[in-house]
Structure 1
């Protein structure tokens, strides 16, 4: 199996092939792998915490990077407060600075003050526990933590009340597979992307759930599609990435769905896996065919490749996060995982 690398984009010297009159840019990729101290090369999750540390969840341990070296966190039978599992699938930092760590057998919380992990084994109001693979962890404006677990549906934990609610698939029989992504828009509406079932939304915190229907023909636009990522952008827009539909922009004010990139310069379908809003004007699209940098203002994009003469694109992009560089909060660079 080929190595999987973390790529730090520093905007220095990597060739981009431009399409539609976007200027060529040069980007520099800094590779971090097991040679640099990473516990394993398959990275599933990235997080930058409030202190500036970068966290990488791999198939064999959790890693914290300070810009110079890695600190590894793994399960240790001799240490009761170590993490309970090494296969990391999702990461999230709550308002108190605790790191929520999703694994393939449940959820753990890291307390940086105590430098210890605890198993999140709370019983939900519905008498269920989070026990399966965690696919996504997110938060809302009320301070609640939302967790999607394989075949268990969605959980919502309120830190103030200490109550955990489980919204199971039985409540919504038209969702038969895993939740891949979720986000709250500016109005508080919850948007959910599913594997094989498409795009849904709820305006009442999952008392009801509705499939997104095209404003043109009132059909479920993403029916039978795999919605991999939903991210918020400027001007009350959502950006949606799916394996069949590529990258699209949903304007929530006008309820218009606009195709951004579904077919590339070669006429090949763009199987979108990851999205990043790098700025109000720039959307990064990670796909099986590589990385695309899309100008929202111009409606054009560049497709990153090894060189201008090399037709081979960047490898599959599995995760992109925007992080701060240095102590100042201003100035950032995207982090990619392939």
Structure 2
């Protein structure tokens, strides 16, 4: 009886300590704005690169790079195709990629920009997501244009389903460490690429 009671008391104390820890946790937020150097106050994308810098994509101010103290802003005057950024990604070579509201893809090597558009096979109104597969190919998820894969300097559309209208807008892309590609769509949920086909993940 005594051992049983001690066990109950121990479990109760453990539960209380866990509950207090959860509810006692506090988060301190610091607000950054244009006054602090941020390019623009409407933020659509945030990405931390391999060096620890934060890249912030804004709606009209271009891209801000934050080193923890200061902001460095990159805009159309620096070579960006447009100042309305919707997605950010760093590839395995350290290049930064920026997808824009009007469907342009910008590659930044730390010095200058290279812009990819319809002339490179990329047909889209907005670029929502960017990723890289294990072969080093850049993948781009677009608004109403579907999924694209970059080969050398050109893009080719990747057909996800037999009926393209089911996966025309790709909101999210993720490549796992083992090379599995996950594709989040607006019209038809989640897909996983199991070479050579895409499999739809449903709630059934």
TM range (shorter): 0.7 to 0.9
Structure 1 residues 31, 116: CA separation in 2 closer, same or farther (over 3 Å shift)? same
Where does residue 193 of structure 1 map in the other structure? 184
Q: Deviations over 1:226-246 (max 9, x none)?
A: xxxxxxxxxxxxxxxxxxxxx
Q: Distance in 2 between matches of 1:22 and 1:140?
A: 43
Where does residue 135 of structure 2 map in the other structure? 142
Answer whether contact 1:147 1:154 (CA < 8 A) is retained. yes
For structure 1, list consecutive stretches of 5 or more residues without a partner in the other structure: 1-19, 213-219, 223-338
Where does residue 119 of structure 1 map in the other structure? 115
Q: Distance in 1 between matches of 2:146 and 2:64?
A: 28
Where does residue 153 of structure 1 map in the other structure? 146
- Which of 101, 105, 108 is 1:107 aligned to? 105
Q: Distance in 2 between matches of 1:107 and 1:71?
A: 20
Where does residue 5 of structure 2 map in the other structure? none
3-state SS of 1:21 partner = helix
Q: Distance in 1 between matches of 2:164 and 2:149?
A: 19
Rg larger in structure:
2
For structure 2, list consecutive stretches of 5 or more residues without a partner in the other structure: 1-17
Answer whether contact 1:172 1:209 (CA < 8 A) is retained. no
Q: Distance in 2 between matches of 1:208 and 1:170?
A: 9
- Tell me the matched-pair count: 184
Structure 1 residues 53, 188: CA separation in 2 closer, same or farther (over 3 Å shift)? closer
Structure 1 residues 168, 21: CA separation in 2 closer, same or farther (over 3 Å shift)? same
Post-superposition offset of 1:22: 6.2
Q: Which has the higher contact order (CA 8 A, sep 6+)?
A: 1
Post-superposition offset of 1:57: 0.2
Matching of residues 75-224 of structure 1 within 5 Å:
75-76=76-77, 82-105=79-102, 106-112=104-110, 115-121=111-117, 128-158=121-151, 161-162=152-153, 164-168=155-159, 171-173=162-164, 175-204=166-195, 207-212=196-201, 220-221=202-203
Structure 1 residues 89, 21: CA separation in 2 closer, same or farther (over 3 Å shift)? same
Q: Deviations over 1:29-66 (max 9, x none)?
A: 11111121112111111122233321100001111112
Q: Distance in 2 between matches of 1:157 and 1:103?
A: 17
Of Structure 1 and Structure 2, the greater strand share is in 1
User: TM-score, normalised to structure 1's length?
Assistant: 0.49
Q: Deviations over 1:267-321 (max 9, x none)?
A: xxxxxxxxxxxxxxxxxxxxxxxxxxxxxxxxxxxxxxxxxxxxxxxxxxxxxxx
Matching of residues 182-331 of structure 1 within 5 Å:
182-204=173-195, 207-212=196-201, 220-221=202-203
Post-superposition offset of 1:171: 4.5
Structure 1 residues 56, 169: CA separation in 2 closer, same or farther (over 3 Å shift)? same
Answer whether contact 1:55 1:65 (CA < 8 A) is retained. yes
Q: Deviations over 1:119-157 (max 9, x none)?
A: 124756xxx324421010011222221111111111112
Answer whether contact 1:152 1:168 (CA < 8 A) is retained. no
Q: CA RMSD in A?
A: 2.6
Post-superposition offset of 1:97: 1.3
Q: Deviations over 1:69-96 (max 9, x none)?
A: 21211113xxxx6111010000011122
